[in-house]
């Protein structure tokens, strides 16, 4: 089986309703489509609410654009000093090597920027300028390769970029954001793993995984190859309506990540990307889910629930809060909530 890239292929294989073909073609004309076999195989075509299909199969609801939605919801463009670099926080930059992904997520916050019709991988000249920018900014401590998905590039290209980054003295940490280990686990060959594991600089790999079913045996084996090689694995998930917005599914996901040596890092509130309202929850739902995780799961399984503030203002944790200050002046004290929801004064006396 090959990667499905058209609505015709999705309809022919029973993964999209043929009667909606015209609307789905309109969606695909605007937002890239790719569904690789590893993920297509996970979809139950008889389940109209399948959580894997919801993430990757185009939906006519994507034509419904809301006034609050933004083409660049997290403000990459406003913080891009040279092609391929986003410098939002002082000590780190994003380096976007390619607009191509192994799979196109229907809720992607960069959906207006990713896909084959949105450009090509960085040219050698653009990469040279981007590296010069990093070299000339001593405060850059961490470089984050993101995308598109950097792991769609060849091992040779990745090795060359990683070596050049590792050679910059003030860059101490490298990070790669990817969905390839679940979308195309076979790409994570020993050669590719060696290419991204550079000597002398720790490399973190942040894996984007939203549903426990994405962690197939092949995906788990790909993660094990990375962990065994000494790469540090982090989990990034997006809270999505109808995909992972129950305590059971979210809890199973976090446990599965930890079992695969992937430390849950962020749970992202859905960004205001165009045509994604049907996949967003509200923040109160997210906070309730976080409370449910706190009450039921090991501390290892707790991500930080974050909102990327529209306009490029960065991420902030959005609760829930367990600590409140009460009283005034000399009588002030805290009230802290435990995992059962019971409140306790702190300090207990005084």
Residues with catalytic roles? 88-89, 92, 101, 105, 108, 110, 271, 308, 315
Strand, coil or helix: 152:
helix
DSSP 244-299: T-SHHHHHHHHHHHHHTTEEEEEEEPPP--TT-GGG---HHHHHHHHHHHHHHS-G
Query: Which CB atom, from 73 or from 147, has the smaller least distance to ligand SF4?
Result: 147
Minimum distance from residue 279 beta carbon to ligand SF4 (Å): 12
Query: What is the DSSP secondary structure assignment for residue 186, as one 8-state letter?
Result: G
Minimum distance from residue 191 beta carbon to ligand SF4 (Å): 22
Residues 6+ apart with CB under 8 A from 139: 90, 91, 170
Query: Which CB atom, from 62 or from 149, has the smaller least distance to ligand SF4?
Result: 149
Minimum distance from residue 70 beta carbon to ligand SF4 (Å): 15
Query: Which CB atom, from 101 or from 127, has the smaller least distance to ligand SF4?
Result: 101
Minimum distance from residue 148 beta carbon to ligand SF4 (Å): 6
Q: Is residue 303 a contact partner of residue 254, using CB atoms and an 8 Å limit?
A: yes
Q: What number of residues does the chain have?
A: 350
Among the listed residues 86, 137, 91, 134, the one whose alpha carbon sits nearest the alpha carbon of residue 113: 86
Query: Which CB atom, from 115 or from 297, has the smaller least distance to ligand SF4?
Result: 115
Minimum distance from residue 243 beta carbon to ligand SF4 (Å): 13
Separation between Cα atoms, residue 248 and residue 250, nearest integer Å:
6
Separation between Cα atoms, residue 169 and residue 177, nearest integer Å:
22
- The residue whose two tokens read 């629930």 is 305
Residues in contact with ligand SF4 by CB under 6 A are 101, 104-105, 108, 110, 114, 147-149, 179, 208
- Chain centroid to CA 1: 26
Query: Which CB atom, from 172 or from 278, has the smaller least distance to ligand SF4?
Result: 278
Q: Is residue 19 a contact partner of residue 33, using CB atoms and an 8 Å limit?
A: no
């Amino acid at each position: 089986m090959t990667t499905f890239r058209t609505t015709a292929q999705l309809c022919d294989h029973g993964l999209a309703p043929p009667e909606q073909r015209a609307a789905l073609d309109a969606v695909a004309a605007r937002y890239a489509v790719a569904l690789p076999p590893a993920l297509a195989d996970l979809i139950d075509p008889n389940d109209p609410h399948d959580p894997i299909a919801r993430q990757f199969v185009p939906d006519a609801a994507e034509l419904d654009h809301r006034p609050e939605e933004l083409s660049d919801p997290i403000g990459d463009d406003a913080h891009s000093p040279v092609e391929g670099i986003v410098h939002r926080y002082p000590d780190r930059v994003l380096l976007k090597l390619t607009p191509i992904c192994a799979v196109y997520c229907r809720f992607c916050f960069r959906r207006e920027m990713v896909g084959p019709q949105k450009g090509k991988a960085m040219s050698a000249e653009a990469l040279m300028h981007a590296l010069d920018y990093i070299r000339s900014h001593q405060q850059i401590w961490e470089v984050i390769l993101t995308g598109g998905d950097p792991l769609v590039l060849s091992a040779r290209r990745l090795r060359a970029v990683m070596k050049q980054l590792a050679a910059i003295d003030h860059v101490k940490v490298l990070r790669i954001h990817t969905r390839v280990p679940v979308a195309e686990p076979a790409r994570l060959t020993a050669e590719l793993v060696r290419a991204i594991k550079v000597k002398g600089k720790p490399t973190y790999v942040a894996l984007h995984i939203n549903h426990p079913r994405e962690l197939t045996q092949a995906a788990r084996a790909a993660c094990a190859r990375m962990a065994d090689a000494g790469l540090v694995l982090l989990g990034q998930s997006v809270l999505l309506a109808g995909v992972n917005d129950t305590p059971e599914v979210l809890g199973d996901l976090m446990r599965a990540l930890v079992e695969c040596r992937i430390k849950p890092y962020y749970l992202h509130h859905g960004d205001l990307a165009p045509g994604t309202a049907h996949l967003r929850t509200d923040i109160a739902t997210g906070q309730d889910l976080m409370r449910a995780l706190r009450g039921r799961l090991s501390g290892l399984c707790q991500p930080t629930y974050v909102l990327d503030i529209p306009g490029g203002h960065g991420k902030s944790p959005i609760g829930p809060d367990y600590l409140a200050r009460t009283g005034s002046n000399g009588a002030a004290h805290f009230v802290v909530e435990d995992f059962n929801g019971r409140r306790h004064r702190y300090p207990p006396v005084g």
